[in-house]
Chain A
Amino acid sequence: MSDPKPVTRAARRLLLLVTLMTAMPALAHKLKVFAFAEGERIQGSAYFAGGAKATGASILIQDADGHPLASLSPDGDGRFSYRALASIEHVVIARSDDGHRAEWRIAAADLAGAFPVVDRPAEASPPTSGTPDSSVRATSESADQRGSEDKPTRSLQSGDRALDPALVLFIEEAVARQVRPLREQLVAIDDRIRFQDVLGGIGYILGLTGLALWWRCRRTGRRTDRPR
């Protein structure tokens, strides 16, 4: 402290260090996975909270009971895509080799549009689609195996009128496409580390320290003979 020169030099160096550290991109290192049902496809991406793409992660798709359905590896942008086989709840799990893990759930309802369940064929009087009952039932039974090419022949009831199922599917997909950036943005906002969280944490640390020191003062105040 006697010689101010090295102190100021060191302080300048420390300041430089702090500036360099804060100039780095403020990225958190938590692995996240985001997935979204678009028609019958589950599309998603794995990334580190803050934006860096997690290209090295492996993606595992499970059903709600934990049975593995598929395992994928994301592309260079961290994106992946999976074709759902049924409208059940899907759990997308991302893992990286060094022990990061993230999970995302897709509710069965999100996929329902691509897999219309025709459970009341007798009630429906299909004026536009001339599909016979038996074939409708067969379609709903084998919905798991069928691809997208035979979907337009299924009928979906909405209120009293039977809408063209192809149109319904198209609307569902279009809405999903439009909503997707919004949902991604919501998740990104949710991921962002808030300044008040940082301040809150520091406040907790200082508060705990103060508490410990107060405790110490109380104890030494009572027994003044204790040096430690």
Chain B
Amino acid sequence: MAHIPDGVLSAPVLVTGALVSVGLLTVALRRLDYERLPPAAVLSAAFFVSSLISVPMGPSSVHLLLNGLMGLLLGWTAIPAILVALILQAAFFGFGGLLVLGVNTMNLALPALFCALVLAPWLQRCPPARIPWIGFAAGALGVLFTGLLVALSLGLSGEAFVPAAKVMVLIYPPLALVEGLITATTIGFLWRVAPEMLTREDNPRV
């Protein structure tokens, strides 16, 4: 799953992941939107706890990732939120590890960033009835991209890529469906109770 433990990945992959994550984090901290820190804290806490609720599926077990939702709502602020939650998951629960923190952050943050930069602008433009669909797309794409990145990290580390990819193909689409539904529900709910969270004009542009 999304938390790759220590001792699985090869050094080049670890270094690449760490460099990419440090780069992303630097940009994110420069563009840090302080208005978004309270929602970032709430979503970071949700991300932190959601990893505990996992469902056995096939040869592995899955849990919600929420990175699509985080990207959609937080923009670049999602990156420190994900990093902090991952550090705490490694420290408190033993999920993932400290050496692979960079890779794990990259695998979750890049899809979140994709949602922030590609899907979030659509929230301003589309009719309100379509807003849950954007949520669905963000949730599902966040999961599928993360799955792809995890499979790539394993494959580039010399793990047998084909069985890993098979497991990913087996477990990620149902998870993407569930995650999409949950993100759609959340976004639809927020649109009704707090639309200012979605229509914020200060969406950081690249």
Contacts and interface: CB of A to CB of B under 8 A. Distances in A.
Given A99-B5, A205-B45, A29 B62 contact: yes
B84 A98 contact: no
Interface string A11-26: 1011001000110111
A206 B40 CA distance: 10
A26 to B, nearest CB: 6
B193 A1 contact: yes
Contacts of B166: 97
A179 interface: no
Interface stretch (A120-128, A148-156, A208-216): A208-216
A101 interface: yes
A70 interface: no
Contacts of A200: 92
A97 B59 contact: yes
A127 B92 CA distance: 58
Contacts of B21: none
A99 to B, nearest CB: 5
A77 to B, nearest CB: 14
Contact of A17 (B44, B171, B182): B182
A170 interface: no
Interface in B54-72: 54-56, 58-64
Contact of B189 (A13, A96, A202): A13
Contact of A6 (B49, B60, B192): B192
Contacts of B44: 205
Given A7-B193, A17-B182, A99-B159, A27 B5 contact: no
Nearest to B41: A209
A205 B55 contact: no
A68 to B, nearest CB: 15
A29 B93 CA distance: 10
Contact of A97 (B51, B54, B163, B188): B163
Given A14-B185, A201-B48, A212-B34, A56 B41 contact: no
Nearest to A202: B45
Contacts of A17: 182, 185
Contacts of B168: 98
Contacts of A204: 84, 88
A220 B54 CA distance: 42
Main secondary structure of the interface of B (DSSP, over half): helix
Interface string B25-41: 00000001010011011
Contact of A30 (B49, B53, B93, B167): B93
A26 B38 CA distance: 27
A7 B195 CA distance: 12
Contacts of A28: 51-52, 54, 93, 95
Interface string A92-134: 0001111111110000000000000000000000000000000
Contact of B53 (A14, A24, A103): A24
- Residue picked from B5, B63, B64, most chain A C-beta under 10 Å: B5
Contacts of B5: 30-31, 99-102
A98 B189 contact: no
A202 B48 contact: yes
Contact of B59 (A55, A103, A209, A212): A55
Contact of B88 (A55, A100, A102, A201): A201
B95 A29 contact: yes
Given A10-B192, A98-B164, A205 B56 contact: no
A52 B48 contact: no
B66 to A, nearest CB: 11
Given A30-B95, A205-B85, 17 more contacts: A10-B193, A24-B55, A25-B55, A27-B54, A28-B93, A29-B95, A97-B60, A99-B5, A100-B60, A197-B92, A198-B92, A201-B85, A201-B89, A202-B48, A202-B49, A204-B84, A206-B45
